Amino acid sequence: MFIQNIKINNTPIVWNNLLEDANTNDTINVPPNITEEISIFGKPLSIAERDQMKKKFGDIYFNGFSTYYNVPQNLVLPYNNNSITVDFIAIEPARSNLMEYQYFLEGYDDEWSPVSNKTTATFGNIFEGTYTLKIRAKFSGLAKEEAAKWSEPISYTFTVLPPWYRTWWAYTLYALLFLFALRVFVKWRERNLRIEKEKLEQTVVIRTAEVVAEKKKSDDLLLNILPEEVAEELKAKGSADAKLIDHVTVLFTDFKGFTALAEKLSPKELVSDLNICFSEFDRIMQKHGIEKIKTIGDSYMAAGGLPTPNDTHASDVVKAAFEIRDFIEEGKQRKIAAGLPYFEIRIGVHTGPVVAGIVGVKKIAYDIWGDTVNTASRMESSGEIGKVNISETSYDLVKDKFKCEFRGEVKAKGKGLVKMYFVESV
């Protein structure tokens, strides 16, 4: 008897194609894999078909063939290929139809199979382990005296590997996971035991954090209204003293034709555009260390050099004025391109002494007073669209840092003739 062929998952396999040293480039002799392909399929397989077979069954291991047929020896099957079909035959060329067979798979079957003429045995869903298939045959004959005894069984041994979740390393992983879960459970229990002890302390911490958070909100709100130095004085004393600061640079801005523009926009659109502009002005002031004082309608007022005096207040304010001018100009170009109404701005700057402080008890605000404020306002109203107009006192402080154009003496409301300069560039 011989085993002729082995199929896996009821699929014919060209076993020579699964060998690493399978040679299909021999131009003299027909390679064994080609011979096997023709024997099984009646034609050589294409390269794509061979690659597909290798991809599907490439994880099957064996280390050679039997003597007469391409039957893999020491076959090791992965668990996903755990169905096997064995084709066998007895050597009885004259009356092969009178041959009868039985087979028995040790570890799988409980007893020998029923006697039949079938020359194929199929075993599906084989559990992991090593199995030995035994096959025997006998000649039934046509008369009682011709009946033969069973032949000596032939054997074929193969192994099915376990799925990954039943391998030794998987069981090791399960053990580690169990130990980890046990440790987590112990830690969880310890944590639960601590919770009751810590509840009161945690409540105190939460309440304290709430108080601190509310205090921070109040402080942040106060700092949004007042300079930090003034706010700290107000918190400490309940009041803040007004101060005379000798050198402060005041900035005023105003939009040209605001009233006429307001008639073209809805209230919502108007307030939205103002908010965008003044929010950007606020950012610019913060960037240059300048204190925003207030907005009055469409006017914006800020001052450098207070509440803490410094030596750079004039140049800081001029730099901020340039950024404001450029921001409004960029917005103007976008609005023109979209066919929408746009803002144009005048900017005035003056340097001098001011009195700074807070007044009132409701809706308190930090403000500045003095002729310097009035003169800065006149610098703005006497300026031109898109220009930074500064007074002579401011010019004396920035002339070495910025290129300025002398405008001459310009008449300012309530001030008479005042020397003014346009700041052109750095």
Taking the C-alpha atoms of residue 55 and residue 59, their distance in angstroms, rounded to an integer, is 8
Q: Report H helices in 226-309.
A: 228-237, 258-264, 267-287
CB neighbours (10 Å) of residue 84?
23
Taking the C-alpha atoms of residue 320 and residue 317, their distance in angstroms, rounded to an integer, is 5
Residue 355: both structure tokens together: 């009195």
- Dmax over CA atoms of the chain, in Å, equals 148
Residue 46: both structure tokens together: 């294409």
Taking the C-alpha atoms of residue 351 and residue 305, their distance in angstroms, rounded to an integer, is 10
Angle at 314 between CA 312 and CA 320, to 5 degrees: 100
The closest alpha carbon to 240, from 367, 357, 368, belongs to: 357
Taking the C-alpha atoms of residue 409 and residue 391, their distance in angstroms, rounded to an integer, is 10
* Helices 313-338, 267-287: crossing angle, 10 deg rounding: 150
Q: How far is CA 212 from CA 171, 203, 209, 277, in A?
A: 53, 14, 5, 34
What is the dihedral sign for C-alpha 162, 163, 168, 169? positive
Positions marked active-site: 378, 413
Residue 414 and residue 388 in contact, taking contact as beta carbons nearer than 8 Å? no
Give backbone dihedrals phi and psi of 379, rounded to 5 degrees, phi first: -60, -40
Residue 346: both structure tokens together: 């005048």
Residue 359 and residue 294 in contact, taking contact as beta carbons nearer than 8 Å? no
What is the dihedral sign for C-alpha 172, 173, 174, 175? positive
